[in-house]
Copies of this chain bind each other. A is one copy, B any other.
Amino acid sequence: MQVAILLFERLTALDAVGPYEAISRVPGVEVVFAGERTGPVRDDVGSLSLTADATLTDVPRPDVIVVPGGPGQIAHMADGPVWRWLRAADAHTTWTTSVCTGSLILAAAGLLTGRRATTHWLAMDQLAPLGAVPVEERVVTDGKYMTAAGVSAGIDMALGLVDRIAGATVAQAVQLGIEYDPSPPYAAGSPRVAPSEVVAVVQAHKRFILTGFR
């Protein structure tokens, strides 16, 4: 089973690496990081490059697609190589998935029309205008389309995907392997539970999630 993770400039690194760490440990799965060009791709903060080993044309028929988000998503909201690849590949996938604002790319490409989907909480209002049905859940599955909320939600999505692909024992083994027994220091990971003043800080610094405070 081939899993293609899309890379593009100014993506959020954890959107891609979180799912990768879970999916890549499933027996028989081959993960390929693919971009418009091969070579290093710079993330949104600017301090890390991930390498695209393949071009999009190298992986025309992946079984699973993972589209990360991040501010670079904005460059892929119109017709172009990424849209053309997504549309052609999606016709043959078992699962088409996204993390964070990656769902906006899928929606803009027409793949989530009428489908329930999620995205980063700060971008939730952008789903409906793109034809998707926004759902405020951490992971949303509609048919073969699985979308995750912001950044770290890709880990939860990927474990759910492993469960669907390889069954409960493998999913739990992967979870135990990456010791995913989370213990966040605060109840602050979603706008529903975070203190209102913290929500206000992040809303006031909306670009903070996109590019860091700098």
Chain A interface residues (CB < 8 Å from chain B)? 12-14, 17-18, 20-21, 24-28, 30-33, 40, 45, 47-51, 53, 100, 120-121, 138-139, 149-153, 155-156, 159-160, 163, 168-169, 171-173, 175-186, 188-191, 193-195, 197-199, 201-202, 205, 208-209, 212-214
Contacts and interface: CB of A to CB of B under 8 A. Distances in A.
Contact of A213 (B26, B138, B189, B194): B26
B149 A171 contact: no
A6 to B, nearest CB: 13
A198 B182 contact: no
Given A17-B14, A172-B195, A178-B150, A49 B51 contact: yes
- State the copy count for this chain: 2
B188 A172 contact: yes
Contacts of A27: 213-214
B48 A50 contact: yes
A20 B209 CA distance: 13
Nearest to A31: B47
A155 B18 CA distance: 11
Nearest to A21: B14
Contacts of A100: 179
Contacts of A209: 25, 177-178
